[in-house]
Amino acid sequence: MGRAERAARRAAASGSGPTRDAPARNPGATGAFALFGEALLVGILVTAAGLLVVTLPAALAAGIRHLRRFVRGDGSPLEAFWRDLLRALPTGLIVGVAAAAIAGILALDIALAGSGALPGGGAIAAAGWLVAGLAGGALLLACASWDPDAGWSGALRAIPGAVSADPAGAIYHVVAAAFVGLAAWMLIPLTIPALGCAALAAVAVPARARSGRQKTSVDRHPH
């Protein structure tokens, strides 16, 4: 690549010269450090809004929507996060109570299995951790699907369709949820960046699937 070519690429990237390619579909994701910083900010916001635990689903849904706006280059003011949080809270509290109850039951089951009080405790504990990971992934999928129009009922109904449409993406959501749990178990403050990374994963995984489908379509129907 010659000097003129490199200069043209730098000018196009900085905006000081004519663009050489079509506009990026997700302009907010082109700056890695800015995106990482925004993910950390979302982790702080979600942690602060989810301190009561039962408010965590609503906080995570609002954080995911905030990151999605940022990645797309739409306006992403903090006021929009708080508006989404207030709209997600009323029914989201019911989801939060149910999630907290399931988490409590699973934690008790795993603790009893690890104490040796139950026969086959190792297998029971392993099954408990597996169910916890799947439940966490399902909750993250629901939070990613939430919007003010469909509400939480629509978000929960969308989970089976999302899993069948992109099984690998569903596994990624489970891994992201397990990462949050592992971070909280290792050191509580690590929950903050872990929640931000989980929100970012919830934004990036569907985008990965759409990009793959569009690429396949182009390959099948070349111009």
Give the distance between the most distant pair of CA atoms in the chain.
73
Amino acid letter for position 111: A
Q: Is the pLDDT of residue 81 over 60?
A: yes
Task: Tell me what pLDDT residue 24 has.
Answer: 54
Maximum average pLDDT range among 9-13, 145-149, 213-217: 145-149
As a whole number, mean pLDDT of residues 145-168 equals 95
CA-to-CA distance for 133 and 151, rounded, in angstroms?
24
SS3 label, residue 216: helix
- Quick one: how many helices (H) and strands (E) in the chain? 8, 0
Residue whose C-alpha is closest to residue 82's, from 104, 56, 63: 63
As a whole number, mean pLDDT of residues 176-204 equals 95
Task: Tell me what pLDDT residue 31 has.
Answer: 62
Q: What is the pTM of this model?
A: 0.80
Q: Phi-psi category of 53—alpha, beta or left, where left has phi over 0 and alpha has psi -120 to 50? A: left
Give the rounded percent of residues in the chain with a pLDDT score beyond 90.
65
Residue whose C-alpha is closest to residue 194's, from 208, 207, 182: 182
Lowest mean pLDDT, pick from 10-14, 77-81, 92-96: 10-14
Task: Tell me what pLDDT residue 27 has.
Answer: 59
Q: Is the pLDDT of residue 113 over 60?
A: yes
Task: Tell me what pLDDT residue 114 has.
Answer: 80
pLDDT interval class at 11 (50, 70, 90): low
